Structure 1
Amino acid sequence: MFLAASQVSLAQITGKVIDAETKDPLPGATVVLKGTQTGEITGFDGSFRLNATEGQTLQVSFIGFETVEVAAKAGMVVELVPKTNLLGEIVISSSVIDVAKERETPVAISTITPAEISLKVGNMEFPEIMNRTPGVYATKQGGGYGDSRISLRGFDQRNTSFLINGQPVNDMENGWVYWSNWQGLTDVASGIQIQRGLGASRLAVPSVGGTVSIFTKAAEIERGGTFTQGIGNDGYVKTGFSYNTGKNDKGWAFSALLSRWSGNGYVNGTSGEGWTYFAALGYAPEGSAHNFNLTLLGAGQWHHQRSTWVSIRDYINFGESGVDRRWNTDAGELGGEEFNMRRNFYNKPLATFNWDWKINESVKLATSLYGSAGRGGGTGPRGNNFRNSDIDLYPFRRDLTEHLLERNLGAASRNADGSINFDNVVAVNRATTSPYTGSISGFQGQLIGSNGFRNDGVNRAVLVRRASMNSHNWVGAISTLDFDKGDWRYSIGIDLRSYTGFHYRSLENLMGLDGYYSTGNSNSAGQIQNTTINASPFRNTGLEREKIDYFNTGIVGWQGLNGLVEYNNETSFTAVLQAGISNQSFKREDFFDQPNNPISEKKSITGGYLKGGANYNLDARSNVFFNAGYISRQPLFDAVFPGFANDINENLQNEEIVSVELGYGFVSNNLKVNINAYNTVWGNRFQTRSVPLTGGATGTAQFDDIDVRHMGVELEVDYRYNSKFRVRGMVSAGDWRYTDNFEGAVFDDNNQPVPGRANEILYVKDAKVGDAAQFTSFIEGEYKIGKFVFDLGYRFVDGLYADYSIEDSDFFQEDNQGALKLPSYGLVDLGGTVRFDLMGNTSSFRVNVNNLFNTIYIAESETNIHRVDESAPAWKGIDYRNSVWFGFGTTWNATLRINF
């Protein structure tokens, strides 16, 4: 904590400062003994510790809130009334959540308040609100609702840990986070803490870039409710209702929320809709040592996507004018309604039971049990439609300009504006398919399509819509035992997880045909199927129905043990040492493709971490900290079972991460500054690439110990000039690059070294890491005029390079040009809020305008094509052939919120 003065003869008074209306903690508030200079600044959770005697008068102040005078007493809670009402809810109270505290926990952190989430997300993607914090780069990717992604310090989502109320949500097979599954976080999130680098979590999670900890509301709030109505660009509509019973005299409390959203999408053909549901039941009787909380959170949704990458010249050739950022190669109509071969649908309810037990004043036990049953997937094309030029719609290793305009492929089923005429696809399917004459009973005379089979009248040159499913069952338990003794805190915990992923394909739309001949199951000579599923999050997703192409399960287990030792003298010095070990087991079962090896052996791999650091408060305002750590991280599921087979990879190795960080902080009543520098080496990575051998054979070059170094400096400033004007901003400058060239031995198809074959070399020394901006900055001014609040923000992005793989053929040439640098860009956002009384209810109305000046910019590039000929067509120096995602133009949203 932050002790400004020490009077040994006085007792220590502990307490917390919170917002009187939202019950949110107020970090940075000033608590002073009246008439003295003795005081303290509250921590992240609003807590303080001050040497005083009970009954002495304390003055508590915070910019934007009314100053109060209260009598000191142990365990006091001081409620400050805002001069302008704020929004937000209390965070969930389980002690399994590792919340970092400024001037105490030795990590770099940024916090996004519930008011910011409630006011500024609107119809943006949830991760985008984190773009205003150091080290973060979030984009909308293809632009469908929920298709966003986020990187932290140049590490993608597989290498950044995401926790919801302390529970890990990275996919246990591939490490990814699908934000479409968590659309409801906009409604229920009560705060986000971004712990950059090693983070404060005691779990053995993939905190290479950092840990993003998201808190949701709980049942421990005042009685009342909220109605919200939002609208936005391109037909976006969102309606929500929540109600809280408040805590009764027996200690029970209940909260519930239900909301629905729908929209046409900024990108052509990307409409969607979804429901968010949330319920929380709490039980905390007065005087009890036990506290219980049961929550259910889910967000069922469907949305059309833009998954086919678009070249710059496609945006120009098929757009309405200039660069048309709305262009979508996948979009069209069927039966007069929007239709898209790419449709995502998912429902992932997460149920959590938290139990906190205060055994005595020194010992506490916190336990969380959770479970999730995710159901859904994504649709896409199936069939050899490329064999029929009338329905050869989708470019393969080329852009649509070459595919359609230069080769005239699929022209019969493309409209004049380039969109797809799916009615013609149905007509072509039917017109080119002969009646079935085979021996499978019940289908004679019907129109049957296939992906490969072509006998008995079956037509393989067709196009149907299949659904690739990625469902799962996931249960877990986290439990920590904390023991406090004087200035020392000891903790030991367990982390148990069990995950089963179900991967299969089903038919979703036969596109005018009567059935589909499936040969994907090696246990069958072939069968005709006509059962389809609905691409809806609340319908049967086909787990118990007929399947095509593939069907397998991935079984992942996790057993983790962690420990912590912390010294905190409550005045100026905190030191912490954490360690954890985990065993991750992998097993794969295949029901279709490997009849001679249907179930793999179980492979167990041990990993772990060791990290520690210290914080020293130089005085009441300034502090310095450092942390360092080592992580040994197990490989992902696909690395254990390469090539979708049940054979375990013999060359498995853990990745190794070493990180060091230094930081300085300054906080006063109206100014807060944090600056830190970091160095992270991500090493011992394994990469393979196919290479030609003599005689037309193909071998594999195997590279190990591939290292990349991420270094950088981050600055964050928050300045309140007075109760009306506030300025805040950040600067994040990184240098992320590969450390050296790497050699790899060549092996034949039996995984034996090729005699006399020289090693292959990857020439990647100093190549910049792509797909995340290495320099970002943000500044925002906020001004209050009576009941109105206006804010204007500017974000600048530079050092953004194209995404690429180091196994690309370019990097086998010593004179390669490295990563393609994309143009820098700057975006301006404008917002305004008015708060008012509506029939006795506190209400607000908020308007956001994002990308105010309609700036055209490239948010990411999938290709790494350098412009070698200066006369070649280019956009801001970027070759037209590159496949990119342009960011959205000007968008807007408006929300009315009524509290009752």
Structure 2
Amino acid sequence: MKKITRLLFLAGALMLSAFSMAQTVVTGTVMDAEMAAPLPGANIVEKGTSNGVSSNFDGEFSLITESTEGEIVISYVGYTKVVVKFSGSTSLGNVTLTPDNTLEEVVIIGSGIIDLAEDRKTPVAVSTITANQIREKAGNSDLPEVLKQTPSVQSVQAGGFGDGQMFLRGFDQTNTAFLLNGQPINGMEDGKMYWSNWSGVLDVANAVQVQRGLGASKLAISSVGGTVNIVTKTIDRKEGGFFQQMVGNDNFIKSTAYYSTGVNDKGWSLGVLFGHWQGDGYVDYTQGQGQTYYISVGYQPNDNHALNFMLTGAPQWHAAAGSGKISDFLDPEVNEGRGRRYNSWIETGVNSPNNLHGGVYPGGRNIYHKPVANLSWDWTINEKSELSTVLYGSMGRGGFAADKISDGVGFVRTSFNNHNWYGLVSNYNNQLSETLNFNIGADVRSYNGIHFRGISEFVGGQTSYTETSGYSGTYDITNTYGGISPWGMVFNPNTDHDQRMDRDYEEMITYYGVFGQLEYSKDQFSAFFQGAISNQNHQREEFFFTENENQSEKSDKVNNLGYNLKAGAAYEISDMHKVFVNAGYYSRQPFHDDLFVNTRNSNDLIDPEVENQEITGLEAGYQFGGEKIQANLNLYHTTWANRTLLRTNGQDQDTPAYELYQTQGVKQVHYGAELEVFTQPMDNLRVNGFLSLGEWQYKDSATKRTFDSDGVQIGSDEEINIDGFNVGGAAQVTAGINASYEFLPRLSVDGAWNWYNDMYSTGDPEDPTLSMPSYDMVDAGLSYKMLVGKDDRNSLQFRLNVNNVFSEVYLESVSGTTSASSNPEENYKGVNTSNYGRFGYGRTWNTSIRFNF
């Protein structure tokens, strides 16, 4: 028996020895190309098998394979994967991974909620801006400036800090959906975006994706221009951070610090960012100041669950600038030689008897603080299904403050626009088979808008002001709220109705919808179908203009049901050629502000009621993917019918001359073509470009009505002809070329040229638009990264941006209907100077130094 046992043991040992001799050991170190530092937690897998390991804290790995030769795949979240061949046991040395140029796997938490184009095989018209591009290009600008290198996007700087505007395929940003980690952030009442409330978002952005037209979004939202997904940091796998100091034109200073613990052995992580900025502004009297904070706590108890809590905010104040007569910008006697820096509001601010602060409030000051929090949970149920949920909330506090003298009392009057906003987005995804993928989800929101006027501070020793309202009777206002600090707006809010003035009302909006998508993919063919249905509930409560004291008045509730349907298909002709077509129809609910005759002092609903907008979109595209050149060609046709437009005559609602103009049944047709090309002629040279050709016009006729300040209609309905009038506000033809060249290791120069043509003035659709002069601009930048510290694990990064290098003088916007004069001296490049407008910025610059550790 012992002999048999010894024989078996010897045979087993020989077999184990033979097996060990057949094994191959592949070792190496995974490195971050940007940081020149190790990447712990990278995945190393033998290609075609499940055999894999992870790199250790120093980026090192050792993979045992049963094959003597083959390939291993090295990947890391947010980086381009690398495939390396091996033959026998070998050391690969340092394997360098570079940041991914797409958004594939860039986000860990809430990935099922964030609708990215890469999540679906059927393509859309899309452009992605990576974290590195954002870091280099953002400088002291708003997000729209970063996006202007993408097709059919135009950025309008609009005067003060945070007042930038973006147009996408000719649609303004109220009709483009903006999402922050899957959370809708357009204003619930009117769809507007105020970039001053999001001034810190670029500091924490991993990437931004612009989906033009129908887009890939599955949510129960319906945008006309497209969807912009802002994806922020969540969990960093490794410990690290940065310090950055920036200075720029007109005394701009910005300091930012970020630190992340990375993921510890218990699955916890923490990321914290704080920043401060201030500056005088390019336009006169547009000073601004603000902070940024971001806190992210992540927890991954196991491979199936991942949670993240994020809190971020950007408290800020900034002075505003208005448009003025073009002639005033051109006349040195009027603008005192300031040219395009001239702030036309100084006549009603600095030089007016109401200016009580020596220029602090020349035309008013925007003060706002909007803390935003969300809790994200990803649950991998099994190999085929997962659930992603985001619970979010925001508490906006602030308003627009301006000096005022009334009945001999001097004070700062603030028009407060507060809100409490809560919501939940959830999405369940199931891979039904090898060819079918299905997801279904819900989008629920509750919004309370609180609007009133109050006194932020008394001036000149005054302590009281007498006011009268239907709700509170006659009373003395003695309390001040918020001051001129955005922090004060949050921690010292005005909650007493008998301490408010001029207006006092609230708006309640509830929104709930469901959405779903089915995608089929087999071999070279893919197709999808999406559907969503939602209901919006609106109500308004009045506290100022009421019939009975101490009794508020509520409007009737309005319910609007909306839906959207989208479908598309794609065919991959070969590895280099792909074609696709998409179509969609939206029945889109009107904005809250479109429903009421006068949203500031009346609960009266417009009669007949405002109906849903009707949007039809058609798209087709071709994608070419070569080794040195890639290109995208997109064709689109969007019909936007049954739109309602509101405009006033510019008078304040407190004056008898105030009039509100409502135009119903407006129809617009936007169609065009977009070409985007990416090339890399040499390893150290990239040259990209785009061309967008559009034709955007109003069609048919519409119905116009006029109301006075009490909401009473003046006269009868008026049918107006708008057929063939151009849609103004943005250039219908745009083009751009940008290039970067690394002429020494980690030292590069880049430049961009943008051209805008076929532009028209803004105003009522019934008024023929004015043709605006075309313009072009050149931007340039210089980057250098110095490796420092032990084993070059840290780096110092230097960046210089110069925008509008040649200080091109151009009209950014024009409002008015006065045609060019026969007297050339009364025109500017073909535009009558009696019209109102705004000139764009001249040469601006910023430079920064960033220490990455």
TM, length-normalised to structure 2: 0.83
More strand by share: 2
Bigger mean CA deviation after superposition, 267-276 or 535-544: 535-544
Q: For 1:887 and 1:211, how far apart are their aligned partners in 2?
A: 26
Q: For 2:468 and 2:171, how far apart are their aligned partners in 1?
A: 37
Structure 1 contact 518–548 (Cα < 8 Å) conserved:
no
Gap change, CA 1:621 and 1:689, over 3 Å in 2? closer
Where does residue 780 of structure 1 map in the other structure? 738
Q: For 2:301 and 2:707, how far apart are their aligned partners in 1?
A: 66
2:722 to 755, 764, 776: 764
Where does residue 208 of structure 1 map in the other structure? 224
Aligned-residue offset at 1:275: 0.7
Counterparts of residues 810-849 of structure 1 (less than 5 Å): 811=767, 818-840=768-790, 841-849=794-802
Aligned-residue offset at 1:862: 2.6
Structure 1 contact 654–684 (Cα < 8 Å) conserved:
yes
1:348 to 363, 370, 378: 370
Counterparts of residues 519-538 of structure 1 (less than 5 Å): 519-533=467-481, 534-538=483-487
Query: Which amino acid in structure 1 is aligned with residue 529 of structure 2?
Result: L
Gap change, CA 1:882 and 1:56, over 3 Å in 2? same
1:806 corresponds to 2:778: no
SS at match of 1:853: coil
Gap change, CA 1:699 and 1:263, over 3 Å in 2? closer
2:383 to 350, 354, 361: 361
Q: For 2:319 and 2:289, how far apart are their aligned partners in 1?
A: 10
Where does residue 610 of structure 1 map in the other structure? 565
Bigger mean CA deviation after superposition, 310-319 or 154-163: 310-319
In the alignment, structure 1 segments of 5+ residues that lack a partner are 1-16, 26-30, 35-52, 73-77, 384-448, 451-458, 692-696, 812-817
Where does residue 164 of structure 1 map in the other structure? 180
Where does residue 538 of structure 2 map in the other structure? 586
Structure 2 contact 747–783 (Cα < 8 Å) conserved:
yes
Q: For 1:701 and 1:319, how far apart are their aligned partners in 2?
A: 33
SS at match of 1:613: strand
Q: For 2:661 and 2:98, how far apart are their aligned partners in 1?
A: 66
1:93 corresponds to 2:99: no
Where does residue 560 of structure 1 map in the other structure? 513
Where does residue 163 of structure 2 map in the other structure? 147
Aligned-residue offset at 1:839: 4.2
Where does residue 827 of structure 2 map in the other structure? 874
Gap change, CA 1:485 and 1:85, over 3 Å in 2? closer
Query: Which amino acid in structure 1 is aligned with residue 699 of structure 2?
Result: T
Q: For 2:541 and 2:327, how far apart are their aligned partners in 1?
A: 42
Q: For 1:467 and 1:750, how far apart are their aligned partners in 2?
A: 24
Aligned-residue offset at 1:706: 2.3
Q: For 2:264 and 2:843, how far apart are their aligned partners in 1?
A: 47
Where does residue 6 of structure 1 map in the other structure? none
Q: For 1:760 and 1:91, how far apart are their aligned partners in 2?
A: 52
1:718 corresponds to 2:732: no
Counterparts of residues 194-343 of structure 1 (less than 5 Å): 194-286=210-302, 288-307=303-322, 309-316=324-331, 317-321=333-337, 323-330=339-346, 332=350, 338-343=360-365
2:456 to 467, 485, 508: 508
Where does residue 670 of structure 1 map in the other structure? 628
Where does residue 432 of structure 2 map in the other structure? 485
1:601 to 535, 542, 556: 556
Aligned-residue offset at 1:66: 11
Q: For 2:738 and 2:841, how far apart are their aligned partners in 1?
A: 20
Query: Which amino acid in structure 2 is aligned with residue 530 of structure 1?
Result: T
Q: Give the RMSD, CA atoms, in angstroms.
A: 3.5
Gap change, CA 1:699 and 1:760, over 3 Å in 2? farther
Q: For 2:193 and 2:31, how far apart are their aligned partners in 1?
A: 33
Gap change, CA 1:182 and 1:643, over 3 Å in 2? same
Structure 2 contact 451–506 (Cα < 8 Å) conserved:
yes
Structure 2 contact 125–212 (Cα < 8 Å) conserved:
yes
SS at match of 1:706: strand
Structure 2 contact 260–271 (Cα < 8 Å) conserved:
yes
Q: For 2:819 and 2:222, how far apart are their aligned partners in 1?
A: 33
Aligned-residue offset at 1:87: 14
SS at match of 2:136: helix
Aligned-residue offset at 1:884: 1.1
Where does residue 71 of structure 2 map in the other structure? 57
Query: Which amino acid in structure 2 is aligned with residue 875 of structure 1?
Result: Y
Where does residue 628 of structure 1 map in the other structure? 583
Q: For 2:118 and 2:776, how far apart are their aligned partners in 1?
A: 32
Structure 1 contact 325–887 (Cα < 8 Å) conserved:
no
Aligned-residue offset at 1:145: 0.8
1:637 corresponds to 2:592: yes
- Per-residue deviation, residues 228-271 of structure 1 (Å, max 9, x unmatched): 01110011111111111011111111111111111111111111
Query: Which amino acid in structure 1 is aligned with residue 141 of structure 2?
Result: M
Bigger mean CA deviation after superposition, 87-96 or 540-549: 87-96
Q: For 1:226 and 1:698, how far apart are their aligned partners in 2?
A: 53
Counterparts of residues 310-459 of structure 1 (less than 5 Å): 310-316=325-331, 317-321=333-337, 323-330=339-346, 332=350, 338-383=360-405, 449-450=406-407, 459=408
Q: For 1:84 and 1:100, how far apart are their aligned partners in 2?
A: 18
- Per-residue deviation, residues 482-519 of structure 1 (Å, max 9, x unmatched): 11122101111110000001101111243426145443
SS at match of 2:146: helix
Where does residue 543 of structure 1 map in the other structure? 494
Gap change, CA 1:573 and 1:731, over 3 Å in 2? same
SS at match of 1:130: helix
Where does residue 443 of structure 1 map in the other structure? none
- Per-residue deviation, residues 94-125 of structure 1 (Å, max 9, x unmatched): 12111102982331001111111001110122
1:121 corresponds to 2:121: no
Q: For 1:796 and 1:699, how far apart are their aligned partners in 2?
A: 38
Aligned-residue offset at 1:792: 1.3
Q: For 1:489 and 1:823, how far apart are their aligned partners in 2?
A: 50
Structure 2 contact 465–478 (Cα < 8 Å) conserved:
no
Q: For 1:711 and 1:873, how far apart are their aligned partners in 2?
A: 35
SS at match of 2:700: coil
Q: For 1:855 and 1:323, how far apart are their aligned partners in 2?
A: 13
Query: Which amino acid in structure 2 is aligned with residue 542 of structure 1?
Result: P
SS at match of 1:510: strand
SS at match of 1:538: helix
Query: Which amino acid in structure 1 is aligned with residue 613 of structure 2?
Result: E
Structure 2 contact 401–412 (Cα < 8 Å) conserved:
yes
Structure 2 contact 521–527 (Cα < 8 Å) conserved:
yes
- Per-residue deviation, residues 387-446 of structure 1 (Å, max 9, x unmatched): xxxxxxxxxxxxxxxxxxxxxxxxxxxxxxxxxxxxxxxxxxxxxxxxxxxxxxxxxxxx
Gap change, CA 1:633 and 1:310, over 3 Å in 2? same
Query: Which amino acid in structure 2 is aligned with residue 720 of structure 1?
Result: Q
SS at match of 2:598: helix
Q: For 1:304 and 1:515, how far apart are their aligned partners in 2?
A: 25
Paired residues, what number?
A: 760
Query: Which amino acid in structure 2 is aligned with residue 171 of structure 1?
Result: G
1:471 corresponds to 2:426: no
2:613 to 655, 658, 669: 655
Q: For 1:86 and 1:162, how far apart are their aligned partners in 2?
A: 21
SS at match of 1:129: helix
Q: For 1:184 and 1:92, how far apart are their aligned partners in 2?
A: 21
TM, length-normalised to structure 1: 0.79
- Per-residue deviation, residues 178-200 of structure 1 (Å, max 9, x unmatched): 11000001211111100000111
Aligned-residue offset at 1:219: 1.9
SS at match of 1:258: strand
Gap change, CA 1:338 and 1:730, over 3 Å in 2? same
Structure 1 contact 264–271 (Cα < 8 Å) conserved:
yes
Q: For 1:615 and 1:689, how far apart are their aligned partners in 2?
A: 43
SS at match of 2:452: strand
Bigger mean CA deviation after superposition, 231-240 or 863-872: 863-872
Gap change, CA 1:745 and 1:262, over 3 Å in 2? closer
2:124 to 107, 110, 114: 107
